[in-house]
């Protein structure tokens, strides 16, 4: 199976983009829908919809299950994934996650993918009464193995644990697909990649720099998944990496647009809000922000194939580096910036026309093949 491609939806409403616009939240959400529809037409196989709460500018996409349900009707082929549903019980009761997953499985005719996580922002966690971020590890571990039991064609026997308790109940509806939607988990450090591998889960991650930095994590995952004990009814051997994309026929336009996308500011918001991540020493403490990249810095990144910016030929060489690193799915969070919806759609269409056919010739999704193999 070759490299597959996807999009990432976050409802990012940076002030640099929003200033002067009427109802910028609404416009951005509609642009996210249009981008997914363009990806659906252009050969992208996945889109991932984040769930965040209370994070002004960084993400206004909170009720992601509603957005996913809309996308199920608005698209035809692309798989729609939760990137992620927060499965800690104070944020989302586990039975509600199980219900949402199977409802989306039905409404999308089997195109839903369940990405899970425990949240990485104390702003969000404390907003739901979680005042110790370390407790979210326990919560995740307690919950993640319960879904396959909830999805089986029998009543869920119930659970009495430290972080959630539930009596015997029949959780409905049951999955449309057999055995159930693919299961993924958000991961950052090599230890989390290794844990995901041991659980038989696909990995959802992002990189803010060169793909080389992820190689130790990818190796840890591959070693662990080779001898895993899956928490679902099958193994989803899959690594997804989220990055950025600006692929246009005219390379000069790329070099003019890229320095204007507020990438430094958006990365500063990452470390402002996702404060359970280690902050690199070169990242200033908010409200100080990372300076925007100059044209010369963009040129360096393109020339060294560190970012999927440039002409289709330049971008293809960067994509090949992801193949060489062992990535299974490369995803682009294009509107997690001040990029316009029009430029994002043009970039997706250009990438779909010139780049995707070089790397992904399989009409069937990797997750579908893994699930169908398990069903057999």
- Which tens digit of pLDDT belongs to each residue from 152-163? 999 999 999 999
| CA dist 85 → 50, 62, 96, 185, 354 (Å) | 7, 10, 11, 9, 33
- Which tens digit of pLDDT belongs to each residue from 253-267? 999 999 999 999 999
- Which tens digit of pLDDT belongs to each residue from 324-355? 999 999 999 999 999 999 999 999 999 999 99
HSE-CB at 64 with a 13 A cutoff on CA atoms is 30
pLDDT at 270 over 90: yes
Give residue 159's pLDDT: 98
Give residue 97's pLDDT: 98
Give residue 208's pLDDT: 78
Where residue 188 falls among pLDDT bands split at 50, 70, 90? confident
> 55 has which bridge partners?
59
Where residue 124 falls among pLDDT bands split at 50, 70, 90? very high
pLDDT at 106 over 90: yes
**Segment (H or E) for 243:** strand 239-243
Give residue 375's pLDDT: 86
Domains (range + CATH), the chain: 4-375 (3.20.20.30)
Give residue 249's pLDDT: 98
- Which tens digit of pLDDT belongs to each residue from 158-181? 999 999 999 999 999 999 999 999
**Segment (H or E) for 112:** strand 112-117
- C-alpha 3/C-alpha 327 separation (Å) is 7
Q: pLDDT exceeding 70 applies to what percent of the chain?
A: 100
Give residue 11's pLDDT: 98
**Segment (H or E) for 329:** strand 329-332
- Which tens digit of pLDDT belongs to each residue from 6-62? 999 999 999 999 999 999 999 999 999 999 999 999 999 999 999 999 999 999 999
Give residue 209's pLDDT: 80
Where residue 278 falls among pLDDT bands split at 50, 70, 90? confident
Where residue 290 falls among pLDDT bands split at 50, 70, 90? very high
Q: Indicate the average pLDDT of the chain.
A: 97
| CA dist 274 → 48, 120, 145, 237, 271 (Å) | 18, 5, 26, 27, 5
- C-alpha 234/C-alpha 82 separation (Å) is 19
pLDDT at 111 over 80: yes
Tokens of 62: 């909170």
């Amino acid at each position: 199976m070759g490299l597959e491609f996807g999009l990432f939806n976050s409802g990012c409403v940076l002030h640099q983009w929003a200033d002067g616009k009427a109802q910028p939240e609404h416009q951005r959400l509609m642009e996210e829908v249009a981008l997914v529809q363009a990806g659906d037409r252009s050969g992208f196989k996945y889109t991932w919809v984040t769930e965040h709460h209370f994070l002004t500018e960084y993400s206004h996409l909170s009720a992601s299950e509603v957005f996913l349900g809309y996308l199920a009707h608005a698209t035809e082929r692309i798989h729609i994934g939760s990137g992620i549903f927060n499965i800690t019980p104070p944020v989302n009761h586990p039975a509600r996650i199980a219900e949402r997953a199977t409802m989306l499985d039905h409404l999308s005719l089997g195109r839903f993918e369940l990405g899970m996580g425990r949240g990485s922002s104390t702003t969000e966690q404390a907003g739901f009464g979680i005042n110790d971020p370390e407790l979210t590890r326990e919560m995740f571990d307690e919950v993640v193995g319960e879904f396959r039991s909830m999805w089986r064609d029998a009543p869920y026997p119930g659970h009495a644990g430290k972080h959630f308790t539930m009596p015997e109940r029949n959780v409905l509806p049951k999955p449309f697909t057999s055995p159930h939607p693919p299961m993924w988990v958000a991961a950052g450090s090599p230890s989390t990649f290794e844990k995901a591998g041991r659980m038989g889960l696909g990995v959802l991650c992002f990189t803010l720099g060169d793909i080389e930095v992820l190689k130790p994590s990818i190796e840890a995952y591959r070693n662990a998944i080779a001898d895993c004990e899956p928490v679902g009814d099958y193994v989803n051997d899959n690594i997804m990496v989220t990055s950025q994309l600006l692929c246009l026929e005219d390379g000069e336009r790329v070099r003019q647009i890229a320095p204007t996308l507020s990438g430094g500011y958006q990365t500063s918001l990452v470390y402002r809000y996702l404060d359970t991540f280690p902050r690199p020493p070169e990242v200033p403490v908010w409200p100080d922000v990372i300076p925007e990249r100059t044209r010369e810095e963009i040129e360096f990144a393109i020339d060294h194939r560190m970012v999927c910016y440039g002409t289709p030929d330049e971008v293809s060489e960067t994509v090949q580096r992801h193949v060489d690193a062992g990535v299974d799915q490369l995803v682009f969070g294009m509107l997690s910036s001040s990029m316009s919806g029009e430029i994002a759609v043009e970039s997706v269409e250009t990438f779909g026309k010139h780049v995707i056919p070089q790397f992904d010739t399989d009409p069937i999704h990797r997750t579908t093949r893994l699930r169908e193999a398990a069903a057999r």
